A = this chain, B = another copy of it.
């Protein structure tokens, strides 16, 4: 049976392949984007887990938009205005897929920063969007390029990860957030704000969402995969009700609704008195790992590499001298360290800067130190 044309353009995820290779026990993986399993708040989930057997209603079919008690709770948790609503998705990845399917016709223009999140390129690729990129500075997207792009190309939406961007770790400055919101309103571009790393801030002050400055023009994707558990596959999409209704319509056909016991479990967790403390603990842990890795990178990498510090998230982005980064990643793997080379984060046809994405959340300080030494050895030998 011949596959659909829309799928013929989608390459299999290179990250999945690297992750598979990285499961070798002699390899230290900085390639994934996994939270540390030991951080999962299983103790805080335990009371709800044990009580699920007394909640027969969660085993029945549920409503497409989500489990009522969780939705009510989230309205308060996210302080949604009256015009807005929340819907539950099977991970925030599904939220992104639903947005692409509900709004994007083949050829419609979708703006992203380059580099950008691979999973977003996949879903927009599947609906055959025309992906247009703008470059990224240390404060967020290049605003001149962005305005020119909005004015000339008339895109339908701008997809971005303003808090601790994947893969670069960049956190947009306040002024950039305000200006992007203004431009989205001025040029009638919907802002799709993907915020999976937002709570993982370990230094600096929390900033408002970009969407706080353009609430009528935006949809926000929230994740609990980094602060609670990715295995549950429960994400949340918020936005004005008229923006969300088409997503619910698609979700009905896509999977009817997300797992209700998992929604009840998340609801129990979010209500737990110690959940806020749990997030603080994770941030402290990840900061300590980041500090080790960053110090080692500064100490050991050749001067030709460019490093930027981050205030949170899961990744450090290392710009390296121009080279075949796929070949480099292979050599690194042979030397016992897995990383992701930059080209996989760029849409086809855009100019690629040689770089590596390094994850610091799922290895011990000792492993991080050894991994950086292996990385530096290979880079120094280039």
Contacts and interface: CB of A to CB of B under 8 A. Distances in A.
23 contacts: A1-B190, A2-B103, A3-B246, A4-B101, A4-B102, A4-B104, A4-B127, A7-B102, A40-B59, A58-B231, A61-B225, A62-B231, A91-B256, A97-B255, A126-B250, A233-B257, A233-B258, A233-B259, A234-B259, A259-B259, A261-B262, A261-B265, A262-B262
B60 A53 contact: no
A10 B256 CA distance: 15
B59 A93 contact: no
Interface stretch (A41-49, A162-170, A293-301, A313-321): A41-49
B243 A260 contact: no
Contacts of A93: 253-256
B233 A255 contact: yes
Nearest to A13: B252
Interface in A199-245: 225, 229-234, 243
Contacts of A7: 101-102, 246, 249-250
Contacts of A4: 101-105, 127
A123 interface: yes
Closest 9 CB pairs of A and B: A59-B229, A231-B260, A90-B255, A122-B253, A59-B231, A94-B255, A40-B59, A61-B230, A123-B253
Given A3-B246, A46-B53, 15 more contacts: A3-B102, A4-B104, A6-B105, A49-B53, A60-B229, A61-B230, A90-B90, A93-B256, A119-B253, A119-B256, A123-B254, A126-B250, A233-B256, A233-B257, A254-B254
A37 interface: yes
B34 A60 contact: yes
Nearest to A265: B261
A28 interface: no
Contact of A232 (B50, B229, B259): B259
A9 to B, nearest CB: 11
A76 interface: no
Contacts of A42: 53, 56, 59
Interface residues of A, number: 75
Nearest to A157: B1
Contacts of A53: 42-43, 45-46, 49-50
A37 B233 CA distance: 24
Q: Say what secondary structure dominates the interface of chain A.
A: helix
B103 A1 contact: yes
A159 to B, nearest CB: 13
A168 to B, nearest CB: 21
A52 interface: yes
A5 interface: yes
A1 B185 CA distance: 12
Interface string A72-112: 00000000000000000111011001000111110000000
A57 interface: yes
Nearest to A261: B231
A61 B105 CA distance: 31
